[in-house]
Amino acid sequence: MERTSLYAYIIFTGNDDFPLDVVTERLGVQPTKTWKVGERAVPNHPINHFLRSYTAWHFEIETKETPNTDEVLRPLLEVFESKTDIINQLKEELNLNVHLELVIQIYNGFTPGLVIYPEFSRFAAEINAFLDVDMYVYPFNETDE
């Protein structure tokens, strides 16, 4: 049975020629994935129109089965909160945008509470990033009677 789960990530985008290795080196964090504009979004797919439309440096917190948003936002905060100055320098020097993302996958109506604690809000404000919340609601499973 699928259970309601959440994950969160931070992503750097904006300048399609920015050096991904510089972001990695300056942050001291290995991304969970990166891509350059023009790369195939789906490797080995026979149709070439699935090409990346932008360059990105992406760090994702693993998916957790939980109704508590803090269980995925707090680990992201723990990794990046001390790096706000570096993030802002990278944004300025490389002309980047930074976005924070919370993804909620809802199964069988088990909806988590959407709580954003002040520490996370403060971090988002310090790096001038918005928090995008994506929700995917899947159909209820009917029980056999």
Count Cβ neighbours within 10 Å for each residue of 77-97 and write b for 16 or more, e otherwise: beebbebeebbeebbeebebe
Asked whether residue 14 carries a pLDDT value surpassing 70, the answer given is yes
Kindly report, residue by residue over 81-116, the tens digit of the pLDDT: 999 999 999 999 999 999 999 999 998 888 888 899
pLDDT band at 22 (very low <50, low <70, confident <90, very high): very high
Statement: the pTM of the whole predicted model exceeds 0.85: yes
Query: Could you tell me whether strands 131-137 and 97-106 are parallel, antiparallel, or unpaired per DSSP bridges?
Result: parallel
- How far apart CA 16 and CA 35 sit, in angstroms, is 10
Instruction: Report the C-alpha gap between 135 and 133 in whole angstroms.
Output: 7
Q: What is the pLDDT of residues 30-59, one digit of tens each?
A: 999 998 887 777 776 666 667 788 899 999
